[in-house]
Amino acid sequence: MTTDSIRPIDISYSLLTRVDGSAKFSAGNSTVLCSVTGPADVRIRDEKLDKATLDVIVRPAVGVAATKETSLAYILRTTFETVILLSHHPRTQIQVVAQIISDDGSIISHLINATTMALLDAGVPMKAVVVGVGSLVDDKGRISIDPTADEVEKAVSTHNFAFDSVSLAVLYSESTGVFTEEQVKSDTHDLW
Amino acid sequence: MSSTTENNNTKYTTENDQITSKSDEGNSNANKKETKFIVDADSIRRIQPLEYFRHFTDQKIRPNGRVFNRFRKTTLHLGSVTTADGSAVVRIGNTSVVCGIKAEVAEPNVNTPREGYLVPNVELSPMCSPNFKPGPPSELAQVLSETVNKLLKSSSVLSLESLCIEEGKAVWVLYCDVVCINYDGNILDASVYAVVSALSNVRLPKITYADGIVKATPDKTIELSLSRIPFSATFAIFNGEILADPDETEEVILEERITIICDEEGQLCSVLKSGGSSSTRETFSTCLELARNRYSVLSTIFKEASTSANTN
Amino acid sequence: MDRRRIPGPEASVKPIIERADDEDTQHVAPLKTIDDIRQDGRSLDKIRKAWLAPGIITQANGSAYIEFQGTKVACAVYGPRATKISAFSGKGSLNCEIKFAPFSCQKRRSPQRDPQEKELSHLLFEALAPAVRLDLLPKSTIDVFVTILQNDGNGSCLAASITAASVALADAGIEMLDQVAACSACYIDDEIWIDCTLREEEHAQGSLVLSYMSSLNEITHMLQSGEISVSGTIRTIEQCTEACSKIYSIMGNCLLESVRRKLEKDNTLGGLNKKEG
């Protein structure tokens, strides 16, 4: 996998018949299946008077959802809450369930892409399309995009981003490891 | 509070329990007979929180009186909890947390026979805020624990191999429990500061392993050697303006946040941004500079606290 | 496995502390000297130095922090707030919860509630309920949350929790019949030791925790366990009552001081407000 290209993508949608929208997103060996139901009824305690409530659930490929999946769900929720036009459907709930089928590196970016496609399939009104991408900096200082799990293991730092398709603003960014400001800037071509 | 709203075009006043509003267009004496709609500042704060907030930020100040780039007063005390093997009490403004580290011995994981365990955990009990209910950890507590865990692992704050007692048989487990006493926003900065400081305060006994039994000396003198000392700085973004160290009332209405964690060499250990789209490329650079300044402030406080803890 | 927390190893133990061979049990410091002076310099009937501060938790309606040297306890009171119980009740309800911080004891405590904490929570409720005017708060609930940050004596933890909770209730402005001060005592070799540390408790044959309202001269709650003779129990109650009166005066002074500070702050602001008209 070269520095500037992502793995081959495969997207399919409207796979699930009992939900309002669904999409399956795979890049290389990572696959995520996401479903969206809503606007639908909401529990009184979660009801918001002026907006829809966005509820995100992330399920891992193996085992039971733990703190890691809660963290991923939090990221998805806070990212999409800014993009979905929640005030169009007050006192309802939009539920997103993302099932990780296989995790081969930078799963958050694939989750974001799958969620975007599923929301589009469900016809949920959004300000823009959210695109996620992961990258890393290796021990020789080289930047590569869309890493696999093995590459992430050996990386000095990993960087995941989500961009707004209209304004190219950074909606979500998570960089961990040990890195410098210059690496982040060149990684995002100065968008961040 | 009501005096500050007078600078804007619409004057909000209450007279004789009647709600009226006057547009300041020079007609202050006219139209007294008509009943008008006035809402006081406190009601505006509840009905239109972002509008209320904007009235202050337009004047380059926040409702709590702080300027944008000001962090709240921070204090650190090490070693106050004597039942813990290392402890730190952090106060950032009214937010206060206590981190206590307990060291125990366990068998290492089969896949990593030379590595010990570092187990952080952030507890947000109903004691610290009316927003937390009793029961299992809330989403916020889980996200905080996960963030601290990722930070400790990915920036190698402490080498797990340094916690090895006997390969494949016994390793140290450091349980880093952060208990929040008072929740007034920016719990992430407080937790990171507390965990890293408490780790520096840990004193372990000399340990020997023989025939499946681990024995320790009664004196605790061995310090941990931390490879890195990261501290964090969190900012909220509102209409492109950077507000340092949001307190609880600001956190509720300002969704967009950036957290920058850097180490003693100025290298970045973590950049977390979530919640909104009003930040620009300048935002990152400005936040980074503010974060680095904050680091030197926190570092000074940390060094003073370490010295006074060591002399006691 | 708790999936909502970062998992550690399945089991872990504290290492065995090995004393050097030339130290044997005879050289371990005795609990008290011939003149009945304890290890920390107190006589048998003295409580430890107390440090008490109300109002430390700004998010709560009322709060208090108390230190009896090694025992450190923080308490927050929320209420009166609307009750979640659907059945109508002419009296308010008092909900108490005590939690040990994981690092507060010799061995790490699990963050999940265990039976000892449930029992202590119930004892706290029993000690406070007679003193709080719940009949003035129908359909409401008062939540009292106590976190024990450092444990130096199980009896003193309970006593400190009761004392802190009482101060926090006053700080919250909840009407009470009187402040409840609590004190613990141990019975070691037919002698009464007031306010014992963890090390002293290990040698005790019996223990007592007393909650007492000083102005009304009434005991709200008494917990006695172990072996104490009847006359011994009566003497212990008398000594605890005296100790509770001392704690009561400390509580009173602290609350007055805190109110004085609040009034001063309000007066300064009040002066400014008057100027602006």
Work out how many domains chain C is built from and give that number. Answer: 1
Domain encompassing residue C176: 38-266
* More confidently predicted of B289 and B1: B289
Q: The CATH number of the domain where C193 resides is what?
A: 3.30.230.70
Asked if pLDDT for residue B17 goes beyond 60, the answer is no
Give yes or no for a cis peptide into C111 (omega within 30° of 0).
Answer: no
- Residue B5 pLDDT level (bands cut at 50, 70, 90): very low
In this complex, the chains that touch B, judged by 3 or more CB pairs closer than 8 A, are A, C
Residue C32 lies in a domain: no
- Residue A3 pLDDT level (bands cut at 50, 70, 90): low
- Residue B162 pLDDT level (bands cut at 50, 70, 90): very high
Q: Give the pLDDT of residue B111.
A: 92
- Residue B25 pLDDT level (bands cut at 50, 70, 90): very low
C-alpha distance from B286 to closest chain C C-alpha (Å) = 32
Asked if pLDDT for residue B32 goes beyond 70, the answer is no
Residues of chain A in Cβ contact (below 8 Å) with chain B = 67-68, 70-71, 73-75, 78-79, 81-83, 157-158, 164, 167, 169-181, 184-185, 190-192
Q: Does B109 touch chain C if contact means CB atoms closer than 8 Å?
A: yes
Read off the pLDDT of each residue in A63-82 and give the average, rounded to a whole number.
94
C-alpha distance from B198 to closest chain C C-alpha (Å) = 12
For residue C239, the one-letter residue type is Q
Q: What domains are there in chain B, each with its CATH number?
A: 74-311 (3.30.230.70)
Q: How far apart are CA A29 and CA C221, in angstroms?
A: 66
C-alpha distance from A17 to closest chain B C-alpha (Å) = 30
Q: How far apart are CA B255 and CA B277, in angstroms?
A: 10
- Residue B282 pLDDT level (bands cut at 50, 70, 90): confident
Q: Give the pLDDT of residue B275.
A: 84
Give the pair of three-digit tokens for residue C189. Answer: 């070799």
Q: How many residues does chain B have?
A: 312
CB–CB of A74 and B143 under 8 A? yes
For residue C246, the one-letter residue type is K
Domain assignments of chain A as residue spans, ordered by start: 9-187
Q: Give the pLDDT of residue C164.
A: 97
B11's enclosing H/E stretch is strand B10-15
At B171, phi and psi to the nearest 5? -140, 160
Q: Give the pLDDT of residue A180.
A: 87
CB–CB of C57 and B130 under 8 A? no
In this complex, the chains that touch C, judged by 3 or more CB pairs closer than 8 A, are A, B
Residue C69 lies in a domain: yes
Read off the pLDDT of each residue in B55-67 and give the average, rounded to a whole number.
91
- Which residue in B3, B81, B126 is closest to C145 by CB distance? B126
Residue C96 lies in a domain: yes
Helices (H), C5-142: 115-128
Q: How far apart are CA A49 and CA C135, in angstroms?
A: 35
* More confidently predicted of B194 and A142: B194
How many CB atoms are closer than 10 A to CB B121?
Answer: 26
Q: What does pTM read for this prediction?
A: 0.90
Q: How far apart are CA B123 and CA A6, in angstroms?
A: 39
Asked if pLDDT for residue B126 goes beyond 90, the answer is yes
Q: Give the pLDDT of residue B220.
A: 83
Read off the pLDDT of each residue in B193-216 and give the average, rounded to a whole number.
91
Which residues in chain A are contacts of B280 at CB distance < 8 A? 169
Beta-ladder partners of C53: C65
Residue C23 lies in a domain: no
CB–CB of C59 and B81 under 8 A? no
C-alpha distance from B81 to closest chain C C-alpha (Å) = 6
C217's enclosing H/E stretch is none
| Angle between helix B139-154 and helix B187-201 axes, rounded to 10 deg | 50
CB–CB of B278 and A181 under 8 A? no
Question: How far does chain A reach from its first CA to its final CA, in angstroms?
Answer: 24
Q: Check if CATH label 3.40.50.2000 holds for domain A9-187.
A: no
Residue C239 lies in a domain: yes
- pLDDT one digit per residue (tens) for chain C, 277 residues: 688 999 989 899 988 887 765 555 545 677 777 777 888 888 888 999 999 999 999 999 999 999 999 999 999 999 899 988 888 889 999 999 999 999 999 999 999 999 999 999 999 999 999 999 999 999 999 999 999 999 999 999 999 999 999 999 999 999 999 999 999 999 988 889 999 999 999 999 999 999 999 999 999 999 999 988 899 999 999 999 999 999 999 999 999 999 999 899 888 765 554 444 3
Asked if pLDDT for residue A110 goes beyond 90, the answer is yes
The per-residue pLDDT of chain B, averaged, comes to 87
Asked if pLDDT for residue B2 goes beyond 50, the answer is no
Give yes or no for a cis peptide into A39 (omega within 30° of 0).
Answer: yes
Q: Give the pLDDT of residue C272.
A: 52
Q: Does C3 touch chain A if contact means CB atoms closer than 8 Å?
A: yes
Asked if pLDDT for residue B100 goes beyond 50, the answer is yes
